[in-house]
Amino acid sequence: MTLSSEILTSIMRALAEDIGAGDVTSQAIFPPAAQARGQIIAKQNGVVAGLEVAAAVFARLDPQVEFSPLAAEGAAVENRQPLARLSGAARALFSGERTALNFLGRMSGIATLTRQFVEAVSGTGAQILDTRKTAPGLRAADKLAVALGGGKNHRMGLYDLILLKDNHIDFAGSVAEAVRRARAAESGLEIEVEVRTLEQLQEALACGVERILLDNMTLDEMRAAVRLTAARAKLEASGNVNLQRVRAIAETGVDFISIGALTHSAPTLDVSLDILALARDVSQQGEF
Protein backbone atom coordinates (compact mmCIF):
# COMPACT_ATOMS: atom_id res chain seq x y z
CA MET A 1 0.00 0.00 0.00
CA THR A 2 1.28 3.45 -0.91
CA LEU A 3 0.24 6.09 1.59
CA SER A 4 -1.36 9.19 0.13
CA SER A 5 0.31 12.58 0.29
CA GLU A 6 -2.52 13.69 2.62
CA ILE A 7 -1.63 10.99 5.15
CA LEU A 8 2.08 11.75 4.91
CA THR A 9 1.30 15.41 5.54
CA SER A 10 -0.81 14.42 8.57
CA ILE A 11 2.13 12.44 9.92
CA MET A 12 4.51 15.37 9.59
CA ARG A 13 2.01 17.69 11.24
CA ALA A 14 1.42 15.25 14.11
CA LEU A 15 5.13 14.81 14.73
CA ALA A 16 5.70 18.56 14.71
CA GLU A 17 2.83 18.97 17.16
CA ASP A 18 4.27 16.39 19.57
CA ILE A 19 8.01 16.87 19.25
CA GLY A 20 8.23 20.57 18.52
CA ALA A 21 11.82 21.75 18.89
CA GLY A 22 12.87 18.33 20.20
CA ASP A 23 12.06 15.42 22.50
CA VAL A 24 13.89 16.85 25.47
CA THR A 25 13.46 13.74 27.63
CA SER A 26 14.83 11.27 25.08
CA GLN A 27 17.64 13.61 24.15
CA ALA A 28 18.63 13.88 27.83
CA ILE A 29 18.54 10.15 28.52
CA PHE A 30 19.63 8.40 25.31
CA PRO A 31 22.89 9.17 23.49
CA PRO A 32 22.55 9.31 19.71
CA ALA A 33 24.01 5.81 19.30
CA ALA A 34 21.64 4.11 21.77
CA GLN A 35 19.54 1.34 20.23
CA ALA A 36 16.18 -0.14 21.20
CA ARG A 37 14.02 -3.10 20.23
CA GLY A 38 10.33 -3.48 20.90
CA GLN A 39 6.97 -4.67 19.71
CA ILE A 40 3.55 -3.14 19.29
CA ILE A 41 0.76 -5.23 20.77
CA ALA A 42 -3.03 -5.11 20.75
CA LYS A 43 -4.54 -4.83 24.21
CA GLN A 44 -8.04 -5.82 23.14
CA ASN A 45 -9.76 -7.71 20.35
CA GLY A 46 -10.43 -5.76 17.17
CA VAL A 47 -9.43 -5.08 13.57
CA VAL A 48 -5.98 -3.67 12.94
CA ALA A 49 -5.55 -0.71 10.60
CA GLY A 50 -2.73 1.78 10.29
CA LEU A 51 0.38 -0.35 10.63
CA GLU A 52 1.82 1.23 7.51
CA VAL A 53 1.06 4.66 8.90
CA ALA A 54 2.83 3.75 12.15
CA ALA A 55 5.83 2.51 10.15
CA ALA A 56 5.90 5.79 8.23
CA VAL A 57 5.98 7.73 11.50
CA PHE A 58 9.17 6.02 12.62
CA ALA A 59 10.68 6.19 9.12
CA ARG A 60 10.12 9.94 9.11
CA LEU A 61 12.21 10.25 12.27
CA ASP A 62 14.88 7.78 11.19
CA PRO A 63 14.82 5.84 7.89
CA GLN A 64 17.06 3.20 9.53
CA VAL A 65 14.34 2.04 11.92
CA GLU A 66 13.29 -1.50 11.05
CA PHE A 67 9.52 -2.02 11.24
CA SER A 68 8.16 -5.51 10.60
CA PRO A 69 4.37 -5.97 10.63
CA LEU A 70 3.15 -9.18 12.24
CA ALA A 71 -0.47 -8.82 11.14
CA ALA A 72 -2.10 -7.85 7.87
CA GLU A 73 -3.92 -4.55 7.52
CA GLY A 74 -7.64 -5.17 8.06
CA ALA A 75 -7.09 -8.44 9.91
CA ALA A 76 -8.95 -9.42 13.06
CA VAL A 77 -6.58 -9.46 16.04
CA GLU A 78 -6.85 -10.60 19.63
CA ASN A 79 -5.90 -9.14 22.98
CA ARG A 80 -2.12 -9.36 23.61
CA GLN A 81 -1.41 -10.25 19.98
CA PRO A 82 1.85 -8.74 18.66
CA LEU A 83 1.16 -6.44 15.70
CA ALA A 84 4.68 -5.37 14.73
CA ARG A 85 8.33 -5.63 15.71
CA LEU A 86 10.65 -2.68 15.44
CA SER A 87 14.24 -1.81 16.21
CA GLY A 88 16.57 1.09 15.70
CA ALA A 89 17.75 4.28 17.34
CA ALA A 90 16.25 4.61 20.81
CA ARG A 91 15.57 8.30 20.29
CA ALA A 92 13.51 7.59 17.18
CA LEU A 93 11.49 4.82 18.81
CA PHE A 94 10.69 6.80 21.93
CA SER A 95 10.04 10.06 20.08
CA GLY A 96 7.69 8.43 17.55
CA GLU A 97 5.90 6.12 19.97
CA ARG A 98 2.89 8.28 20.87
CA THR A 99 2.27 9.61 17.38
CA ALA A 100 2.47 6.12 15.86
CA LEU A 101 0.15 4.66 18.48
CA ASN A 102 -2.30 7.54 18.13
CA PHE A 103 -2.68 6.84 14.42
CA LEU A 104 -2.75 3.08 14.88
CA GLY A 105 -5.23 3.13 17.75
CA ARG A 106 -7.61 5.57 16.06
CA MET A 107 -7.52 3.83 12.70
CA SER A 108 -7.92 0.38 14.25
CA GLY A 109 -10.88 1.62 16.29
CA ILE A 110 -12.56 2.93 13.13
CA ALA A 111 -11.83 -0.31 11.27
CA THR A 112 -13.19 -2.35 14.19
CA LEU A 113 -16.48 -0.45 14.35
CA THR A 114 -16.81 -0.52 10.56
CA ARG A 115 -16.34 -4.31 10.52
CA GLN A 116 -19.14 -4.67 13.07
CA PHE A 117 -21.53 -2.76 10.82
CA VAL A 118 -20.39 -4.65 7.72
CA GLU A 119 -20.95 -7.99 9.42
CA ALA A 120 -24.35 -6.83 10.70
CA VAL A 121 -25.64 -6.32 7.13
CA SER A 122 -23.91 -9.34 5.60
CA GLY A 123 -25.99 -11.02 2.92
CA THR A 124 -28.37 -8.11 2.34
CA GLY A 125 -26.50 -6.48 -0.54
CA ALA A 126 -26.31 -3.13 1.28
CA GLN A 127 -22.91 -1.43 1.51
CA ILE A 128 -21.71 0.53 4.53
CA LEU A 129 -20.47 4.05 3.75
CA ASP A 130 -18.59 6.63 5.78
CA THR A 131 -19.29 10.39 5.79
CA ARG A 132 -17.33 13.64 6.07
CA LYS A 133 -17.64 13.53 9.88
CA THR A 134 -13.92 12.90 10.27
CA ALA A 135 -11.31 14.48 12.53
CA PRO A 136 -10.03 17.72 10.97
CA GLY A 137 -6.83 17.02 9.08
CA LEU A 138 -7.22 13.24 9.37
CA ARG A 139 -9.82 12.54 6.70
CA ALA A 140 -7.57 10.45 4.47
CA ALA A 141 -6.45 8.30 7.40
CA ASP A 142 -9.99 7.96 8.77
CA LYS A 143 -11.39 6.92 5.40
CA LEU A 144 -8.53 4.49 4.79
CA ALA A 145 -9.45 2.87 8.12
CA VAL A 146 -13.06 2.53 7.01
CA ALA A 147 -11.93 0.80 3.81
CA LEU A 148 -9.66 -1.56 5.77
CA GLY A 149 -12.64 -2.39 7.98
CA GLY A 150 -14.63 -3.44 4.92
CA GLY A 151 -16.67 -0.29 4.40
CA LYS A 152 -16.82 1.95 1.34
CA ASN A 153 -15.79 5.59 1.11
CA HIS A 154 -18.42 8.20 0.30
CA ARG A 155 -17.19 11.48 -1.18
CA MET A 156 -13.80 12.59 0.11
CA GLY A 157 -14.84 16.23 0.24
CA LEU A 158 -16.99 18.90 -1.32
CA TYR A 159 -15.14 18.59 -4.61
CA ASP A 160 -15.81 15.06 -5.90
CA LEU A 161 -19.62 14.65 -5.76
CA ILE A 162 -22.55 17.05 -6.01
CA LEU A 163 -24.76 16.32 -3.02
CA LEU A 164 -27.88 18.47 -2.96
CA LYS A 165 -28.99 18.62 0.66
CA ASP A 166 -32.05 20.15 2.29
CA ASN A 167 -30.65 23.68 2.50
CA HIS A 168 -29.61 23.64 -1.16
CA ILE A 169 -33.05 22.42 -2.18
CA ASP A 170 -34.87 24.89 0.06
CA PHE A 171 -32.86 27.79 -1.37
CA ALA A 172 -33.40 26.67 -4.96
CA GLY A 173 -37.12 26.26 -4.30
CA SER A 174 -37.50 22.63 -5.34
CA VAL A 175 -35.64 19.42 -6.05
CA ALA A 176 -36.06 19.95 -9.79
CA GLU A 177 -34.63 23.46 -9.72
CA ALA A 178 -31.68 22.39 -7.55
CA VAL A 179 -30.89 19.57 -9.98
CA ARG A 180 -31.22 21.94 -12.95
CA ARG A 181 -28.69 24.35 -11.40
CA ALA A 182 -26.31 21.50 -10.55
CA ARG A 183 -26.38 20.25 -14.13
CA ALA A 184 -25.99 23.74 -15.51
CA ALA A 185 -22.66 23.97 -13.65
CA GLU A 186 -21.35 21.27 -16.05
CA SER A 187 -18.93 19.80 -13.52
CA GLY A 188 -19.21 16.31 -14.96
CA LEU A 189 -19.70 14.95 -11.44
CA GLU A 190 -22.36 12.52 -10.28
CA ILE A 191 -25.37 14.17 -8.64
CA GLU A 192 -26.93 12.85 -5.44
CA VAL A 193 -30.12 14.35 -4.01
CA GLU A 194 -31.17 14.21 -0.37
CA VAL A 195 -34.92 13.74 0.08
CA ARG A 196 -37.03 13.90 3.21
CA THR A 197 -40.36 12.69 1.83
CA LEU A 198 -41.64 10.24 -0.75
CA GLU A 199 -42.96 13.21 -2.73
CA GLN A 200 -39.44 14.61 -2.99
CA LEU A 201 -38.23 11.14 -3.97
CA GLN A 202 -40.65 11.06 -6.89
CA GLU A 203 -39.47 14.52 -7.95
CA ALA A 204 -35.83 13.38 -7.84
CA LEU A 205 -36.66 10.28 -9.86
CA ALA A 206 -38.40 12.41 -12.46
CA CYS A 207 -35.16 14.38 -12.80
CA GLY A 208 -33.25 11.20 -13.60
CA VAL A 209 -30.56 11.63 -10.89
CA GLU A 210 -28.15 8.77 -10.34
CA ARG A 211 -28.34 8.58 -6.57
CA ILE A 212 -30.82 9.55 -3.86
CA LEU A 213 -30.22 9.89 -0.13
CA LEU A 214 -33.17 9.01 2.11
CA ASP A 215 -32.79 11.33 5.08
CA ASN A 216 -34.07 10.06 8.45
CA MET A 217 -36.90 8.03 6.93
CA THR A 218 -38.74 5.32 8.83
CA LEU A 219 -38.34 1.69 7.83
CA ASP A 220 -41.77 1.74 6.21
CA GLU A 221 -40.84 4.86 4.23
CA MET A 222 -37.59 3.23 3.08
CA ARG A 223 -39.42 0.14 1.90
CA ALA A 224 -41.87 2.34 0.00
CA ALA A 225 -38.96 4.30 -1.48
CA VAL A 226 -37.35 1.09 -2.75
CA ARG A 227 -40.63 0.06 -4.42
CA LEU A 228 -41.14 3.50 -5.99
CA THR A 229 -37.56 3.69 -7.25
CA ALA A 230 -37.62 0.24 -8.85
CA ALA A 231 -33.84 0.33 -9.40
CA ARG A 232 -33.96 3.58 -11.40
CA ALA A 233 -31.45 5.12 -8.97
CA LYS A 234 -29.18 3.98 -6.17
CA LEU A 235 -30.67 4.61 -2.73
CA GLU A 236 -28.68 5.61 0.33
CA ALA A 237 -30.17 5.54 3.83
CA SER A 238 -28.85 8.01 6.39
CA GLY A 239 -29.74 9.16 9.88
CA ASN A 240 -30.38 7.37 13.18
CA VAL A 241 -28.26 4.37 12.22
CA ASN A 242 -26.83 2.14 14.94
CA LEU A 243 -25.77 -1.48 15.25
CA GLN A 244 -29.15 -2.50 16.64
CA ARG A 245 -31.07 -0.99 13.70
CA VAL A 246 -28.71 -1.31 10.74
CA ARG A 247 -29.79 -4.83 9.72
CA ALA A 248 -33.42 -3.77 9.51
CA ILE A 249 -32.42 -0.77 7.39
CA ALA A 250 -30.42 -2.98 5.04
CA GLU A 251 -33.34 -5.38 4.67
CA THR A 252 -35.52 -2.59 3.25
CA GLY A 253 -33.55 -3.00 0.03
CA VAL A 254 -31.48 0.20 0.02
CA ASP A 255 -28.12 0.08 -1.72
CA PHE A 256 -26.05 2.07 0.77
CA ILE A 257 -26.16 3.01 4.45
CA SER A 258 -24.04 5.99 5.47
CA ILE A 259 -22.92 6.20 9.09
CA GLY A 260 -21.18 9.20 10.62
CA ALA A 261 -20.40 7.26 13.79
CA LEU A 262 -17.80 5.18 11.96
CA THR A 263 -15.38 8.08 12.17
CA HIS A 264 -16.77 10.46 14.78
CA SER A 265 -17.63 7.97 17.54
CA ALA A 266 -15.42 4.91 17.10
CA PRO A 267 -13.62 3.98 20.34
CA THR A 268 -9.85 3.94 19.96
CA LEU A 269 -8.41 0.44 19.96
CA ASP A 270 -5.98 0.03 22.85
CA VAL A 271 -2.46 -0.62 21.52
CA SER A 272 0.92 -0.20 23.16
CA LEU A 273 4.64 -0.30 22.40
CA ASP A 274 6.59 -2.59 24.69
CA ILE A 275 10.35 -1.96 24.74
CA LEU A 276 12.02 -5.35 25.00
CA ALA A 277 15.69 -4.37 25.02
CA LEU A 278 17.99 -1.34 25.08
CA ALA A 279 21.66 -1.09 24.05
CA ARG A 280 24.14 1.74 24.39
CA ASP A 281 25.18 1.46 20.74
CA VAL A 282 24.96 -0.69 17.62
CA SER A 283 27.82 -2.95 18.76
CA GLN A 284 25.60 -4.32 21.53
CA GLN A 285 22.69 -5.26 19.24
CA GLY A 286 23.74 -8.87 19.36
CA GLU A 287 22.56 -8.91 22.98
CA PHE A 288 19.02 -7.94 21.92
**Which active-site residues does the annotation give?**
98, 133, 165, 194, 215
> 138 has which bridge partners?
none
3-state secondary structure of 174: coil
Contact 126, 160 (CB under 8 A): no
Task: Please give the Cα distance from 224 to 232 (Å, whole number).
Answer: 14
Phi/psi for 138 (5° steps) reads -120, 20
* Amino acid in the structure at residue 259: I
What string of DSSP letters covers 38-94? EEEEESSSEE---HHHHHHHHHHH-TT-EEEESS-TT-EE-TT-EEEEEEEEHHHHH
